[in-house]
Amino acid sequence: MTTSIKDVALLAGVSVATVSRVLGNGPVSAALRAKVEAAVAQSGYRPNLSARRLRSQASRTIGLIVSDIRNPFFTSVSRAVEDVAYRAGMRVILCNTDENPDKEAMYLRLMQEERVSGVIFAATRATADSLDVAGLGFPVVMIDRAGPAARCDAVLLDNRTAAAQLVEHLLGRGYRRIGGLFGNTSSTGAERHAGFVEAMRGAGLPAAARFVAPSAEAAQAAASAWLREADAPEALIASNGLLLLGAVKAVREAGIAVPGQLALAGFDNDSWTELADPGMTVIEQPVDEIGRAAMEMLLERLERPERPLRKVVLAGRLVERGSSQRRG
Amino acid sequence: MTTSIKDVALLAGVSVATVSRVLGNGPVSAALRAKVEAAVAQSGYRPNLSARRLRSQASRTIGLIVSDIRNPFFTSVSRAVEDVAYRAGMRVILCNTDENPDKEAMYLRLMQEERVSGVIFAATRATADSLDVAGLGFPVVMIDRAGPAARCDAVLLDNRTAAAQLVEHLLGRGYRRIGGLFGNTSSTGAERHAGFVEAMRGAGLPAAARFVAPSAEAAQAAASAWLREADAPEALIASNGLLLLGAVKAVREAGIAVPGQLALAGFDNDSWTELADPGMTVIEQPVDEIGRAAMEMLLERLERPERPLRKVVLAGRLVERGSSQRRG
DNA sequence: CTGAAAGCGCTTACAG
DNA sequence: CTGAAAGCGCTTACAG
């Protein structure tokens, strides 16, 4: 059917070993190299990567396991990962887990069967805490989330500081009754909650927080209910872009004025946050840098498996917009 | 290093053929099956997919080639494709071409080396028109774009009708001087332009159109310039979500009131279009359905290679919002 | 520099 | 139902 290295060797009048060496830029005389290259061009030969991987025991493939590629944070991260990976001659297998530990386990098994060189993983809290990284057979770089028990490299945001920064910002604008909406499946939500609580306590204020499933729908429902209560907050923080989106929808549905009746702020500088009036105040994550750093870290780990574990902690950037304007 | 089928056979006291049959649900006695399963569990054995692919001559892999996964249209399509693919036991290799024909050629070559079962492809116009699908060695399903010369299955939007629908909508709202911003690399832009022209001509109106590179930045620059001209349009149509985003940014920068001074409408019901005041009137594409249909079409093609070519043409849905309110 | 040979880890006729 | 053997398409010591 398709032409193999044997066909090319026959056509060029050399051994398959020589063809293989030409393809792999090994030591070959100019004369034979020319003959082989002509035969390759003439036959339209393409090396079979499955055979190459099997024989060389190197898959040159990495896995990228995230909750949902439709989350703009992961969309951007994945694009950055792929760019670095392809440039390094590695392929990427993308997996969407929907924050479901069963799917996470299934994809980790698949990664083993693919004999991947390594995995970049945004794990749920449940998996991050229980994962036996050593038994996996490949290195893992955690992104976005990392449990305290995770014994592997990681690229993270300084979540506590960023959340505290958001609180300080709102306090500086005159808000006191600040509520927080946090995701309940990731360590990220927990850390941002911790930063939120710290900053509120530091100001001698109570820290009202609610934990929800990490989807816009769940956040919308929770915010709707909360804002109808007697002691509803005067400012609301959402711990990621999806939750912030849900909060905005709830607020619009209820006809609540922002920031007049309620100030809003959150994480992730998704494109809609700039365009939704009056503009959302957010912590921008360096999404490209997170993806790039994770992939580079993985490549370095593959080169030196014994190097000490590293955590890269990146700072968020506060983008001030109308949704948190001074209390009037 | 890692355990192979041979180790499992040894441990279970059977031949490798029997282990292979158990794994592949072949005919094996209950007794041997139990022994093998115990050995698999005990050894933590994972079959090597590269070996399996090489030997069985079936990669169970498909390629998904798009311009940029960060474009929300492709984000959603890719998620739908992956869901259907994984459920059918196939893996997906995602490739971002940035509308660059060289990258398209490179990735098509990679797909050949991966011996993929097939490819789902959103090609640039240049590639769609010149591609020798038959010589590729695998079936292709085109999505979003398809040249007239493309001899392959396709899942498309009814672009002409949708664009005309947008024009009719604006005409019905009292707008006459309608301009259009179209992408210059895809057949999609060309088709939407054709529908735009038809509808405008049908109404006896001139059809002012500009073609730009398919990015928000290019659209923003073009719109900025256009809106400063003497005969600037009173309504603007953008042929996809990225271009509409650019147009909105230009309009905001210039302090132009929407729809007071300029009506706006476009394609793609991206999340920001609902939230950006006064809400953008758009043609919503059935993104999940496009991805699902493309993957199913590819699976059917793999089952029956000789079936006649098919084009599935899906209708868009007009979502009316504030940006195209009646001329006051 | 070059080729013959072994072998990566599987699957699949072929016999029994 | 079961096993021995061949072979998928490569790469890589090993000799020369």
B89 touches strand D (CB under 7 A): no
Mean pLDDT of A227-232: 93
Tens-place pLDDT, residues A279-316: 999 999 999 999 999 999 999 999 999 899 999 999 99
Domain A5-47 in CATH 2.30.110.10? The answer is no
| pLDDT band, residue A109 (cuts 50/70/90) | very high
Residues from chain A that touch B112, judged by Cβ atoms under 8 A, are 46
Give the separation between CA A84 and CA A38, rounded to whole angstroms: 32
Beta-carbon contacts of B189 under 8 Å, excluding residues fewer than 6 positions away, are B182, B183, B211, B214, B239, B240
Q: Give the pLDDT of residue A146.
A: 82
User: Which residues of A are less than 8 Å from B49 in CB distance?
Assistant: 113-115
CATH node for B159-285+318-324:
3.40.50.2300
B40, B45, B48, B91: best mutation site toward chain A, by most A Cβ within 10 Å? B48
CA distance A100 to A71: 15
Q: What does the mean pLDDT of chain A come to?
A: 94
Q: Which amino acid is at A176?
A: R
Q: What is the mean pLDDT, run by run of 10 residues, along chain B of 328 residues?
A: 89 95 92 95 96 95 96 96 94 94 96 96 92 92 82 94 97 96 93 97 96 95 96 96 96 95 97 94 97 97 92 96 88
How far is residue B178's CA from residue B259's CA, in Å, rounded to a whole number?
A: 13
Q: What local confidence, expressed as pLDDT, does residue B1 receive?
A: 56
Q: How far apart are CA A48 and CA A4, in angstroms?
A: 8
User: Which protein residues, judged by their CB atom, are less than 7 Å from any atom of strand C?
Assistant: A 14-18, 21, 27-29, 31-33, 51, 54-55, 57; B 1-2, 4-6, 16-17, 20-21, 23-24, 45-48, 51-52, 54-56
- Which residues have C-beta within 8 Å of that of residue B18, sequence separation ≥ 6? B9, B12, B28, B32, B36
Q: Is the CB of B28 under 7 A from strand D?
A: yes
Compute the CA torsion angle B97, B161, B257, B277 (nearest 10 deg).
-70
Q: Where are the domains of chain B?
A: 5-47, 57-157+287-315, 159-285+318-324
- Which numeric CATH code is attached to A59-157+287-315? 3.40.50.2300
Interatomic separation, CA of residue B297 and C1' of nucleotide C6, rounded (Å): 43
The protein footprint on chain D, as nucleotides within 7 A of a CB, is 1-5, 7-13
What digits encode the pLDDT tens for the residues A253-266?
999 999 999 999 99
Rounded Cα–Cα distance for residues B233 and B182 (Å): 15
Per-residue confidence (pLDDT) for residue A1, from 0 to 100: 56
pLDDT in tens, A160-198: 999 999 999 999 999 999 999 999 988 899 999 999 999
- For A61, the closest chain B residue by CA position comes to B93
CB B63 within 8 A of CB B104: no
Provide, as residue numbers in chain A, all residues whose Cβ is less than 8 Å from the Cβ of B96.
79, 82-83
Give the strand pairing for A153-157 and A311-314.
parallel
Residues of chain A positioned with their CB less than 8 A from the CB of B113: 46-49
Superfamily of domain A159-284+318-324: Response regulator (3.40.50.2300)
Interface test with A, best of B66, B245, B275 (most A CBs within 10 A): B275
- pLDDT at residue number A327: 75
- Kindly tell me the burial class for residue B144, based on how many C-beta atoms sit within 10 Å of its own C-beta (0-12, 13-18, 19 or more): buried
Rounded Cα distance between B282 and A319, Å, is 29
DSSP code of A149?
T
Which homologous superfamily does the CATH classification assign to the domain defined by B57-157+287-315? Response regulator (3.40.50.2300)
Interface of A with B (CB under 8 A): 2, 44, 46-51, 53-54, 59, 68-70, 75-76, 78-79, 82-83, 91-94, 96, 109-110, 112-115, 135, 137, 245, 248, 270-272, 275-277
Structure token digits, residue B73: 């249209």
User: What single DSSP character describes residue A162?
Assistant: H
How many Cβ pairs closer than 8 A exist between chain A and B? Answer: 102
Residue A326: pLDDT band with limits 50, 70, 90: confident
Cα–Cα distance measured from residue A236 to residue B7, given in angstroms and rounded to the nearest whole number: 58
Give me B285's structure tokens. Answer: 């594409």
Q: Do domains B57-157+287-315 and B159-285+318-324 have the same CATH topology?
A: yes
